[in-house]
Amino acid sequence: MRIAVFDTKNYDRQSLDGANQQFGHQLSYFEPRLNRDTLELVHGVDAVCPFVNDRLDAEVIASLAARGVRLITLRCAGFNGVDLAACRQHGITVTRVPAYSPHAVAEHAFALLLAVVRRIHKSYVRVREMDFSLDGLVGFDLYRKTIGVVGTGRIGQATIAIAKGFGMRVLAFDVYPQAGLDEKLGFEYVSLPRLLAECDVVSLHLPLTAETQHMINTTSLAGMKPGAVLINTSRGGLIETAALIAALKDGRLAGVGLDVYEMEEGVFFENHSEVGLQDDQLARLLTFPNVLVTAHQGFLTREALDNIAETTLANATAFERGSQLDNKV
């Protein structure tokens, strides 16, 4: 198939070119995101391949259909940026990568957790300035602490396994709990209010939907155990940023580790060092010494990139051949 790949970086091209040796698709790479402003780049292709922050609303979908696009092969798990109703209306199929390397994201969640708890980011800066003092760097053991895992899909399960390795007690919440999973992995399913009230660490691992939008808000933050740590490696919109800033100002949270941010589109994945941030909320978050933000890199391991590329192109091949689409949205 002729596929236009949007929002591409060098690491995307390397992985996709490597995987494409077994599929033989015609790939055209574009650095901009796919949205209303970049539609003119789409011509003479059968499919488009967007990423997590591309915006395919009803207007974009209609234009893609008019240009002969029959497939949107997402190279990510989330599909909240695609108007699925418009796709059905115009006969465009949507596929995704439901699981690429759950361990990559789960391990990054713990990288954030350990860095926040043990003040690694602060210590790194100090030592670079030849300051070897330890004042203000006191953390706490993860051993025997209670972690709350919100969402028990593949990434949540990988997170639970890591937490058990640290000797942590694990509580979990999921709207659709999997029967027997708690006994298999050694955790307890509880209500979300109980999880927030009892856990020393809360880690989010669920998709962004109308139901989960701002699930961490003023009310839920007030219900969290004082001195808890909040980790989000899923979707930025799960957390209401203004409420999070207020909780940080009140000193309720011991630390926050974010790999995602609700207004990250146009900010993350780009270099803004020469122009500065125009987002006041993100700039405010970065002023807190107990907040660590990474730029949506939880997926960024060689294994994950290769899995994403292979599944994305395999989806396109299955569509082209009329085979069963296991990853159809």
Q: What is the pLDDT of residues 90-130, one digit of tens each?
A: 999 999 998 788 999 999 999 999 999 999 999 999 999 99
| 123 in the same domain as 261 | yes
What is the model's pLDDT at position 122? 95
Question: Which pTM does this prediction carry?
Answer: 0.87
Q: Is residue 80 included in any domain, yes or no?
A: yes
Domain assignment of residue 270, yes or no = yes
Q: Point out the catalytic residue in the list 75, 235, 262, 310.
A: 235
Are 91 and 178 in a shared domain?
A: no
The parent domain of residue 266 ranges over 102-293
Are residues 161 and 225 both part of a single domain? yes
pLDDT 10s digits, 145-158:
999 999 999 999 99
Per-residue model confidence as pLDDT tens digits over 275-293: 888 889 999 999 999 999 9
The CATH number covering residue 306 comes to 3.40.50.720
321 is catalytic: no
Contacts 24+ apart (CB under 8 A), 285-291: 285/241, 285/244, 285/245, 285/248, 285/256, 285/258, 285/261, 288/248, 288/256, 289/122, 290/116, 290/248, 290/253, 290/254, 290/255, 290/256, 291/116, 291/248, 291/255, 291/256, 291/257, 291/258
Q: Whose CA is closest to 61, among 78, 84, 38, 31? A: 84
Does residue 327 belong to any structural domain of this protein?
no
Q: Which of 33, 108, 119, 264 is catalytic?
A: 264
- Report yes or no on 119 lying in a domain: yes
Starting at the edge strand that comes first in sequence, how are the strands of the sheet with 188-189 ordered? 188-189, 169-173, 146-150, 201-204, 228-232, 253-258, 291-293
289 and 305 together in one domain: no
286 and 140 in a common domain: yes
Q: Where are the beta strands (DSSP E) in 161-225?
A: 169-173, 188-189, 201-204
The verdict on 263 and 117 lying in the same domain is yes
The answer to whether residue 137 is domain-embedded is yes
Asked if residue 241 and residue 116 are part of one domain, the reply reads yes
Amino acid 274: pLDDT: 80
264 catalytic residue (yes or no): yes
Say yes or no: 120 and 154 in one domain.
Answer: yes
In-domain check, residue 96: yes
Query: Is position 262 annotated as part of the catalytic site?
Result: no
> Looking at residue 291, what is its pLDDT?
97
Tell me which residues of the chain have a pLDDT lower than 50.
none
User: Tell me, what's the pLDDT at 179?
Assistant: 96
Kindly state whether residue 110 falls inside one of the protein's structural domains. Answer: yes
Count of structural domains, the chain: 2
Domain presence at residue 248? yes
Say whether both 274 and 315 belong to one domain: no
Residues 65, 82 within the same domain: yes
Is residue 276 located within the same domain as residue 306?
no
**Do 81 and 123 fall within a single domain?**
no
